[in-house]
A and B are shown apart, each in its own frame.
Chain A
Amino acid sequence: MKIDKELILNVAKNARLNLTEEEIEEFLPQFKEILNTFSKIDKVKTKDVKASFQPIELKNVYREDEIKKCLSQEDALKNIIHKKDGYFKGPKII
C-alpha cells in the first residue's frame, strides 16, 4: 500500500485535524515505518478465529429504563464559555 501525502491529508481531514507542512513532512516517514512494521500481522493465520473486542468475556447488562437524577442544565454548562439561554452554543452549520 502506498502511504503518501494525499492519503495522510485525507485521513487527517476525516479526523478533523489540520496539519501544517512541517507536520506532514515529519509524519510521513514515521507513518511509513510504523505501518510497514505493523503490516506483519498479515502473516498470522486467523481463519476461523473470532475477533476479541474485550479481554474477558462479557455478558450483556440490562436494566429498567427509569428516570434518574442527572446533571442540571446549569451544571452541564459550567465548563464552557459559549452558551446561550441554557444551551450550548456552537458554530454555524449552514
Chain B
Amino acid sequence: MKVKEFIQEVKSGNIDTEEYITKVIEEAKKINQDYNYFNKIIEEPIVNKNGKIASLPISVKDCICVKDVESSAGSKIIKNYIPLFNATCVQNAINEGGVVIGKTSQDEFGFGGFNVNVGIDFKIPLNPFDKERVTGGSSGGAAGYTQKTKYAHIAIAESTGGSIVNPASFCGVVGLCPTYGLVSRYGLIDYANSLDKIGVIAKNVEDAALGLDIIKGYDKNDSTSAKNNFQLTNFLGKDIKGIKIGVIKESLNVDKPVKKAVENSIDKLEKLGAKVKNISLPLTNKYGIACYYLIAMTEASTNLAKYCGIRYGLEEDLGKNFNEYFSDVRSKGFGKEAKRRIILGTFARMAGFRDAYYLKAAKVRTLIIEEYKKALKNFDILLSPTMPMIAPKFSDILKLTPLQNYMMDILTVGPNLAGLPHISIPCGFEKNMPIGLMLIANHFDEGKLIQTADAYERK
C-alpha cells in the first residue's frame, strides 16, 4: 500500500491504527527472525493520529538517535546507549504523526557497502530476494525491510558515500539521498561530518518525496543546516519533456546485464521526452574512490576518538591508567573495519603525511565538485547505474580485499563527495535480482530528481 493511500484510509476511519501497528510489529518480528533487518524493534510504539503522516510506521537507521530507544550505530562500543533526545529528523517525523517501530541494522558506524561489516555481536541482514546475497549497505536493514514489509512504510536512512542508494539498488526499492544540509544532522551518530546526509528509503518515488518533505528543514542545532522551502510532492505527476539528461560515459563500464537494463531505461526516458546525451567525468571516475576514502576515514578517525568508555557506551574495569583504559575499551568495542578506518584515517592526518593525503584529497575534492558543477550547467540530471552489479553472494564477498570492497563504491562516491542529491530507482532484474538506476541533480534540485524518477516509474 502506498503511504498516501494509507493516510487516506486512516483519515476516513477505515483503519484501526492501534490494531494496524500491532500487526506491523508482529510482521517486523517475524521478518527479523529470518532476515535481521532490525537491531531493535519497539514492542509498543506510541501511535499519533494527527499530522501529515498520521499513524504511519517508520523505521530509523540505528545511527540516528531515537529518545529512550537503544541507538548503537551497529557498534558494540555504544551498544545499550539510550539517547535522551530525538534527532531532529525523527522529531519532525513524529510531529507529523510518524510511528517509530524500530532501529534498522547497518554496517558498524556506516563502514561498508555490503552490510557485512556489522559490529561485534550484531547480525548481518540478508537480501529479501535471496538469502545468500547481501542487502548492500550501509543502510541494509532499512532497504531490506522496506522491500519485505507488506505495510505502508518510510525508512529514515543515512548516506556518507552511497549508503542510501546502494542498498536501495540491491533490494529493489527507492533510495533518496538529499543535498548536503537539507536534512539536519542533529542527533546523527556521525561517520564523516562533511559527507553525512540523512535521507529516506521507500517503496516508490511518491513515498520517498513525501518522506523527505517531512524530515527536511532548517535546524539551528546543525551549523551546516540549509534554509529551503520547496515541497517535493509538488513535483509528482509531471511530464519530463525537454528535460536534459547526461549519461555518465565512464559509468557504463559495468556488468553486462546492468548496462543493458540502464540502456533500456535511457530509451524509455527518451520516449518520455527527455533529451539524452553522453557526458564524461574523467577526474571523478579516476580519483573519486581515493579522494572519498581518504576524507571519510580521516573524519571518521576524529569522530570515533570520543568513544573512550567514560560518558556512555562500553565500560571496563577502572583499575588501569588513563591510556590503558581508553585503549582497552576501544580495542574490545570496535569491529575490524572500524579499526582499519581509524588507523588509516589517523595516518592520513598525522604530521608528515597530512599534506600528501588528507589535504591533497580535500583539494581533489574541490576539482571533483567543479567537474560536477560544470556538467550540471548543461544538464538537469546526470544518469548512471547505481551499482556496477546485482547484489553479490556472501561467498563472493569473502574473497575480496578491503580495497576491492571500497572499489565497489565507484559510482556512488562522486555525488556524495560533491554533496549532490541523488536517487536510486529499480530499473530491471537479472537472475531475479533487482538492478538500480541512479539519477543525480544539482544542489537543492531534488525536485527534478523526483519529477524524472516519478515520470519514469509511472510509465
Interface set of A (CB-CB < 8 Å, partner B): 7-8, 11-12, 14-19, 23, 27, 30-31, 33-35, 37-42, 44, 46, 49-56, 58, 61, 63, 71, 75-76, 78-82, 88-93
- A27 lies within 8 A of B322 (CB): no
Q: A54-B224, A90-B318 known; A31 and B343 CB under 8 Å? A: yes
**What are the residues of chain A within 8 A of B330 when measuring CB–CB?**
15-17
Q: Please provide the chain B residues from 20 to 41 with a CB less than 8 Å away from any CB of chain A in the complex.
A: none
The interface centre, meaning the residue of A19, A63, A75, A90 with most chain B CB atoms within 10 A of its CB, is A90
Q: State A39–B220 Cα separation when bound (angstroms).
A: 39
- B339 lies within 8 A of A17 (CB): yes
Q: Which of B44-52, B149-157, B239-247, B354-362 contacts A (4 or more CB under 8 A)?
A: B354-362
Q: State A35–B401 Cα separation when bound (angstroms).
A: 13
- B401 lies within 8 A of A33 (CB): yes
- A45 nearest in chain B by CB position: B367
> A interface, by DSSP: helix, strand, loop or mixed?
loop
Minimum C-beta distance from A37 to chain B (A): 6
> B interface, by DSSP: helix, strand, loop or mixed?
helix
Q: Which of B105-113, B289-297, B388-396 contacts A (4 or more CB under 8 A)?
A: B289-297
Q: Is B320 an interface residue (CB 8 A)?
A: yes
Q: Is B313 an interface residue (CB 8 A)?
A: yes
- A79 lies within 8 A of B313 (CB): yes
- B301 lies within 8 A of A40 (CB): no
Q: A30-B340, A34-B406 known; A40 and B308 CB under 8 Å? A: no
Q: Please provide the chain B residues from 176 to 210 with a CB less than 8 Å away from any CB of chain A in the complex.
A: 179-181, 194-195
- A55 lies within 8 A of B417 (CB): yes
Minimum C-beta distance from A92 to chain B (A): 6
**What are the residues of chain A within 8 A of B323 when measuring CB–CB?**
16
Q: A44-B283, A51-B363, A53-B362 known; A91 and B331 CB under 8 Å? A: no
A–B pairs, 21, beta carbons within 8 Å: A15-B305, A16-B323, A17-B334, A17-B342, A18-B331, A27-B343, A31-B343, A33-B401, A41-B291, A41-B360, A42-B360, A44-B364, A46-B360, A46-B363, A52-B362, A53-B362, A55-B365, A56-B180, A56-B419, A63-B220, A80-B311
Q: State A5–B343 Cα separation when bound (angstroms).
A: 12
Minimum C-beta distance from A26 to chain B (A): 8
